[in-house]
Amino acid sequence: MTIVADSPWTRQRSNRAARLARASGLAGVRAKTVEADAVVALLEALIEPGDRVCLEGDNQKQADFLARALTQVAPARVHDLHMVQSVLSLPEHLDLFELGIASRLDFSFSGPQAARLAQLLGQGKLQIGAIHTYLELFGRYFIDLTPKVSLIAAQAADAQGNLYTGPNTEDTPAIVEATAFKSGIVVAQVNEIVDRLPRVDIPADWIDFVVRAPEPAFIEPLFTRDPAQISEIQVLMAMMAIKGIYAEYGVQSLNHGIGFDTAAIELLLPTYGERLGLKGQICRHWALNPHPALIPAIEAGWVESVHSFGSELGMEDYIRARPDVFFTGADGSLRSNRAFSQAAGHYACDLFIGSTLQMDMQGNSSTATLGRIAGFGGAPNMGADARGRRHASEAWLKAGREARDGLPGARGTPRGQKLVVQMVETFREHMQPAFVETLDAWKLAEQAKLALPPIMIYGDDVTHVLTEEGIANLLLCRDDEEREQAIRGVAGFTPAGQRRDRAMVEKLRARGVIRRPTDLGIDPRDATRNLLAARTMRDLVRASGGLYRPPRRFRNW
């Protein structure tokens, strides 16, 4: 073993060299290439107790082979790891804590593992540092949560270790940059090793080891919404969004949430939107994953550009055929990048629209429910006013004027504001009211001993609340009481909605703070599924000219 001279200024580099030296002697390790069955020994040689480790778990792409390998290391050698990764989606991500390999966690989203995470926390098997937005966690990779070892996933590598991530680049560049340039170590699992990569997404000298996984990395189609499941009420709310908000403000750049409500908007642009003469006036630029539901709008010429956080299974060939719309490499396939798309969504978009499970009377909203610690991924970043924004647009300026009109002092200084719309049916399935006096988040904070209740979007960032009963424009509210009544005034027959001050709600309606469908010239009886540009998955395939190939589970023909 080489002894590396220790200087007080190069300890991290020396430590890295020592780790690489331990790995180089292992059977199955030839330069950068590692045999699959040597990976557990490799991880034991590379990782030291207490290390910060990023096990790439993105919103969609998972380094699943390396995750399994990490659960197989000897806890006597590798323990007390501090996991720093955006998404906990595989059981292995939590097995690490159960097995005593890891003990501390900083993350963004844990949707599928939220219940088990709450359980393990309750049993004292892990400590949570914080729950972040994606961009916030990536930011901390470069400040105080820099990974010592990162275990990542790519589509292919060449003999030198250059990586091709394929369409799901997602978090990989942010993770690798933070690790490789701070004397850390990067291990990549790839689906194949080839002579010539279609393109280089990550250069070889940022990568230390490459292993061909026995199975391709798992990718989840998270953004596919079957139009057959869109309800008439969602069509009604989509009509209200287009006519009452998008057209009203002239929204050019935007991000949509993941739900059926926003899928309905996408599918109404080429029909209802076209009828209103809005083509070219709204929705031209998007920070959005390649939603299949956007295909009809793209085909009808509504969409100029889409930059994506990740890809979506089945959309590969369609994207390849539409490089004027999507960001693609010289090889033709999509280049996604979660960090850049989150930055774009925050700073370069006029509007974010999404849904929630609960909203309180201050407009705070949360998808956190008791017994589940889920986090919010990118929503808090998208659904927040970008206070650093300086470039003007019609929508941003109008929102800012409405919010600041008549205010004194610093609060009255002219500036724009991001439109943040919460679109929610007053009752969810099983008659759960979406409007509540107190969010479950408060009880959850107490249970899980969190510093703050896990609020997804803060009430003072929300500009519009859209329900089947109407749109509440919170920008026009001048005090807390008006805000509260504006929210109650669209909260329908939920207990919180029935507690409205009817006279005040009528006054707010007269001022245009609350607008009912009829105030917008929308007859709810016109809200039929016939307005959807595609009513089935098959319609989406047809609209794409056969280029979209939905995953099997979405195919029922």
Partner 1 sequence: MVGMETLHYAFDGGRALPPFAPALVGVVASGNLEVLVEPASGTGCRIDVDTSARGFGPIWEAVLRDFHARHGLGGLVVSIHDMGATPAVVSLRLDQAISAIGGATP
Q: How far is the CB of 523 from partner 1 (least distance, A)?
A: 9
Evaluated on CA atoms 482, 484, 486, 492, the torsion sign reads negative
β-strand partners of 209 = 187
Tell me whether residue 263 or residue 278 sits nearer to partner 1 (CB atom).
263
Q: Pick between residue 378 and residue 470 the one whose CB is nearest to partner 1.
A: 470
Of residues 94 and 491, the one with the C-beta less far from partner 1: 491
Least gap, CB of 510 to partner 1 (angstroms): 18
**Closest among 318, 243, 233, 232 to 276, alpha carbons compared:** 243
Cβ 495 to partner 1 shortest distance, Å: 9
Of 127 and 229, nearer to partner 1 (C-beta) is 229
Quick one: 26 or 233, whose CB is closer to partner 1? Answer: 233
CB atoms within 10 A of CB 545: 12
Min. distance of Cβ 525 from partner 1 in angstroms?
6
The smaller minimum CB distance to partner 1, of residues 27 and 431, is found at 431
Place of tokens 């007390």: 80
**Could you give phi then psi for residue 420, rounded to 5 degrees?**
-125, 110
Residues forming the site for partner 1 (CB under 8 A): 231-233, 236, 425-427, 429-431, 468-469, 492-493, 498, 524-525, 527
- From CA 261, how far away is CA 527, in angstroms rounded? 13
User: Tokens at residue 419, please?
Assistant: 């439109």
CB of 278 to partner 1, least distance (A): 25
Query: CB 231 → partner 1: shortest distance, Å?
Result: 7
In angstroms, give the least distance from the CB of 426 to partner 1: 7
Query: DSSP H helical segments within 371-457, as ranges?
Result: 379-382, 394-404, 440-447
CB 120 to partner 1: min, Å: 35
Name the minimum Å distance from CB 423 to partner 1: 13
Q: If you write DSSP's letter for every residue of 52-68 in order, what string do you get?
A: EEEE-B-SSEE-HHHHH
Nearer to partner 1, 175 or 496 (CB): 496
Q: How far apart are CA 404 and CA 407, in angstroms?
A: 5
Choose between 424 and 476: whose C-beta lies nearer to partner 1.
Answer: 424
Could you give the 3-state DSSP secondary structure of residue 253?
Answer: strand
Q: 411: which 2 tokens?
A: 């609060």
What is the rounded CA–CA span in Å between residue 476 and residue 15? Answer: 58
* Structure tokens given for 406: 């008549």
The per-residue DSSP string of 60-106 comes to SEE-HHHHHHHHTS-TTTS-SEEEE-SB--SHHHHHHHHTTSEEEEE
Helices (H) and strands (E) in the chain, counts: 21, 22
Q: Give the nearer residue to partner 1 in terms of CB position, either 34 or 423.
A: 423
Cα atoms found within 13 Å of the Cα of residue 201, Cβ hemisphere only: 31
